[in-house]
Amino acid sequence: MSSEPITIGVLALQGAFEEHQRSLEALSPLIRTTQIRTPDQLANIDGIILPGGESTAMGLIGDSTTGLWEALRSYVHSGKPTWGTCAGMILLAERCVGTSAVITKGQSLIGGVDILVCRNYFGSQISSFEMGTPAPPKPAVKLEGMKEEHDGKAFPGVFIRAPAILTAGPGVEILGKVVAVPCRAAAVVLQELERKIEAGETVVQMGVVDALERKEGGGVCYTNVRLHKDVNSTNFEEEKKEVNLMHEQINIDLPGASDETNAREVICAVRKDNILCTAFHPEIADDLRWHSYFVGLVLESKQVKA
């Protein structure tokens, strides 16, 4: 239990930074928040949150703000408590696919966590939804006066143009997984990613891939992106059972989702040392358990320093 006030910064270039501030301040009067827009503002905080929003816009603004991106990289890679939600998670990834087609130099990443992220895995704005996700761990350290809310119930994950973590490297602790069908555009990106991996390529960044096929006589149709489509395969019946079993676990029906046989298990929350990533928006849910967990990381870090 700690009674010492802490200050948590929230990157305020774009996105849901005020929502994070409200959630943190609702936990305890000992938590102060501040908006981060310049490198010098990083000096007096105990931890930082990179909020959800538009990762491309954040990267463009960050790159054009003198010294900010370099300062953020230094802050994150030094091991200081950092939490990225949705777009913020993309920024903390070492590898990303499905990046914006309008950015010729690729998505500007801060890095720090060995994860491969698929941007907009769950689809566009109209595909936003809420589903139960694994509950966060209990915080190791609490602030005096904070309520005990960690009852183990599923957390109401709000997914808005959300990314998904496809793979996590050594040393990355997986805190949550969900089973979901990628949107059509993401499914085509994943198909191309798998082709590149099979060819022996190392993929760090990859842009969006055209999900439409143009017919010679005119007109377009969606690209066939089924993962299991070889009916002559000796493993076809086993693959079919596996797909049917996975489909039974899905409790969401997204507008614009790809063929149901593309259902797969993806990662929605990870931790690497003092860096936390969630694919969804905890700051929008009426549930403060993830914020409580991050505050615990900040307190742990302060105790180690002391």
Catalytic positions: 86, 281, 283
Which residues contact residue 59 at a Cβ distance below 8 angstroms, ignoring those fewer than 6 apart?
A: 91, 103, 107, 108, 109
CB burial class (10 A; 0-12, 13-18, 19+) of residue 37? middle
Q: What is the DSSP string of 233-256?
A: STTHHHHHHHHHHHHHT-----TT
170 three-state secondary structure = coil
Exposure b/e, 223-243, CB count within 10 A at least 16 = b: bebebbeeeeeeeeeebeeeb
- What is the torsional sign of CA 131, 168, 120, 84? positive
Exposure b/e, 123-154, CB count within 10 A at least 16 = b: beeebbbebebbbbeebeebbeebeeeeeeee
User: Where do we find the tokens 């928040």?
Assistant: 33
Query: What residues form DSSP beta bridges with 169?
Result: none
DSSP 153: P
